[in-house]
Structure 1
Amino acid sequence: MTKTLTLLALLSYASTCLRLLCYRRGLANHRFHISLVAWLLIVATGTSALEILLGPGRVSFGQTGIALTLCVLVHRAQGNVANIIRGIE
């Protein structure tokens, strides 16, 4: 069970980080505060993935749940952090 939770958390964090890194804003307006939140999410999810990969790899059920929820939100919003903050319509 622990290995499954660890693998799910690792894949969720890595997927979220990569999706945010690959976001293209196109014609959307640049907003500094949204960009800052996106950058913080990239750093946090990337760091978490690396910690799991390189560290002891112990992840709790709650951490895995948070990682999966964030992953679903980011992918549903197609990497657009502004849509996550204001709600996807």
Structure 2
Amino acid sequence: MTKTLTLLALLSYASTCLRLLCYRRGLANHRLHISLVAWLLIVATGTSALEILLDHGRASFGEAGIALTLCYLVQRAQGNVANIIRSIE
């Protein structure tokens, strides 16, 4: 079960990181605080994926759940962090 959760977390973190990296803002306004949050999410999810990939970490049920939820939110917003934050408020 632990290997399955770890693989699920790895795929979720990698997918989230790649989606955020590939986001194109188009005509949207540039906002520094949103860019900073997006950068922090890219660093955090990329680091977590690398830790799991390099066998330095294992995912628990809670961590896999958080990774899946974050991945869902980012994919639903098409990588637009401002939309994620706006939908929370």
Fold agreement, TM-score > 0.5: yes
Between 1:55-64 and 1:18-27, the stretch displaced more is 55-64
Partner of 1:66: 66
Partner of 1:55: 55
Q: CA deviation at 1:59?
A: 1.0
In 1: Cα distance, 2:8 partner to 2:43 partner:
19
In 2: Cα distance, 1:61 partner to 1:17 partner:
20
Deviations 1:10-33 (A, max 9, x none): 000000000000000000000000
Deviations 1:29-59 (A, max 9, x none): 0000000000000000000000000024411
Between 1:70-79 and 1:53-62, the stretch displaced more is 53-62
Q: Give structure 1 regions of 4+ aligned residues with deviation exceeding 6 angstroms.
A: none
Between 1:18-27 and 1:57-66, the stretch displaced more is 57-66
Partner of 2:80: 80
Q: Percent identity?
A: 90
Normalized against structure 2, the TM-score is what? 0.96
Determine helix, strand or coil for the equivalent of 1:55.
coil
Alpha-carbon RMSD across the aligned residues, in angstroms, is 1.1
Determine helix, strand or coil for the equivalent of 1:87.
helix
In 2: Cα distance, 1:59 partner to 1:81 partner:
24
In 2: Cα distance, 1:56 partner to 1:29 partner:
39
Partner of 2:20: 20
- In the alignment of these two chains, the number of paired residues is 88
